[in-house]
Chains A and B, each alone.
Chain A
Amino acid sequence: MKAAVLVFPGSNCDRDLGVAFEQAGFDVSMVWHKDTELPSGIDIVGVPGGFSYGDYLRCGAIAANSPITQSLKTHADRGGYVIGICNGFQILTETGMLPGALLQNAGLKYICKTVGLKVETSQSSFTEGYNAGDTLEIPIAHHEGNYFADDEVISRLQGEDRVAFTYTDNPNGAKADIAGVLSENRRVLGMMPHPERAADIGHGGTDGTALFRALQGALTPA
């Protein structure tokens, strides 16, 4: 299985995400934002955390219009898998690949700590290594992680079992405690917490490992 990790100016979780994919058995290519094509045969694209383009205008707004992003959309449109973490989640909402938007944390502070994360569904290739209802310990590190969508979108996400993760103790004001959501075809996941920072004993926790391992086992080529 092949994974690509996008690298924007200001990305800073790209290498961690690459290592997490590698440890789960993926061949990993790092892809610079100015490239216009993903390498051939890519099964999953990781959009990493960080501060792409310095978070100018809005977090993820410039990256959402960067050359590689068109290729990312094409990959998703033909049923390819995508995971966006933190700034990657912000980028996926800015492109419209996932619904909603990430607002500034309700408490106005940047929050960097490990939080409790409840697995809301195991019905996706990302979460099938967990049981619905499991509680994980995964770090967050963000200033704009307050998930917002209008009530209609929130109930549609809940009704379609597309809320992947919720916070056990909401740190940022996210609506309905939402920490991660799935696309309609369940092949695009965006989440604020960082599973790639809980994927090695050296990280102090390995609750994120099952996500990457499950992906390696589950992906069906697009």
Chain B
Amino acid sequence: MKARVHVMLKTGVLDPQGEAVRHALGALGFDGVNGVRQGKVIELDLKDGTSEDSITSMCEKLLANTVIESYHVEVM
């Protein structure tokens, strides 16, 4: 089985990279981009039957820093 973990900076945490991308899009002539937030996607190749609790624990312990990041798990 596979799981995809999306990690994003929490709302309210400044994302300077996202801001730089937003400016770059504006410079390319794309109007109306009000905001860009950049995160990461981590794909896990897991033993079949791995519990969601176990994946949550991976996120809490390592994959995301919950002080600044939120995460969302998508089991595929």
The residues of A with any CB-CB pair to B shorter than 8 Å are 57-58, 61, 65, 93-94, 99-101, 103-108, 146, 148-149, 173
Q: A101-B68, A103-B68, A148-B68 are in contact. Are A57 and B63 (CB under 8 A)?
A: yes
Contact of A65 among B13, B62, B65, B67 (CB under 8 A): B62
Contact of A57 among B16, B62, B67, B68 (CB under 8 A): B62
Interchain CB contact (< 8 A) of A103 among B14, B20, B62, B63: B14
Option from B13, B14, B17, B62 in Cβ contact (under 8 Å) with A61? B62
The reply to whether the CB of B61 lies closer than 8 angstroms to some CB of chain A is yes
Please determine whether A173 and B14 come into contact, CB atoms closer than 8 angstroms.
yes
**Chain A residues near B62 (CB-CB < 8 A):** 57, 61, 65
Given known contacts A57-B62, A61-B62, A65-B61, A101 and B67 CB-to-CB distance under 8 angstroms: yes
Q: Which of B9, B14, B20, B65 has the most CB of A within 10 A?
A: B65
With beta carbons under 8 angstroms apart, the residue of A58, A100, A107 that contacts B16 is A107
Q: Mark B3-44, 1 if CB is under 8 A from A, else 0.
A: 000000100011011001000000000000000000000000
Q: Which residues of A have CB within 8 Å of B16?
A: 104-108, 173
Q: Specify the chain A residue showing the minimal Cβ separation from B64.
A: A58
* Chain B 34-76 interface 0/1 with A at a Cβ cutoff of 8 Å (1 = within): 0000000000000000000000000001110101100000000
Q: In the complex, how many residues of chain B place their beta carbon closer than 8 angstroms to a beta carbon of chain A?
A: 12
C-alpha spacing A139/B61, complex, angstroms: 32
5 residue pairs, one from A and one from B, having the closest CB atoms: A101-B67, A101-B68, A108-B16, A106-B16, A101-B65
Residues of A within 8 Å of B61, CB to CB, are 65
Residues of B within 8 A of A106 (CB): 14, 16
Q: When chains A and B are docked, how far (Å) is the Cα of A108 from the Cα of B20? A: 9
Contacts of A105 on B, CB cut-off 8 Å? 16
Nearest B residue to A100, CB-CB: B67
CA distance A188 to B32 in the complex (A): 47
* 30 sampled A-B residue pairs with Cβ under 8 A: A57-B62, A57-B63, A58-B65, A61-B62, A65-B61, A65-B62, A93-B67, A94-B65, A99-B67, A100-B67, A101-B65, A101-B67, A101-B68, A103-B9, A103-B13, A103-B14, A103-B68, A104-B16, A104-B17, A105-B16, A106-B14, A106-B16, A107-B16, A108-B20, A146-B14, A148-B13, A148-B14, A148-B67, A149-B67, A173-B16
Which residues on A sit within 8 Å (CB–CB) of B65?
58, 61, 94, 101
What CA separation (Å) do A149 and B10 show in the bound complex?
12
**Cα-based distance from A99 to B66 in the complex (angstroms):** 12
**Distance (Å) between the CB of B29 and the closest chain A CB?**
22
- The closest CB in chain A to the CB of B66 belongs to A101
Complex: A146 Cα to B9 Cα, angstroms:
14
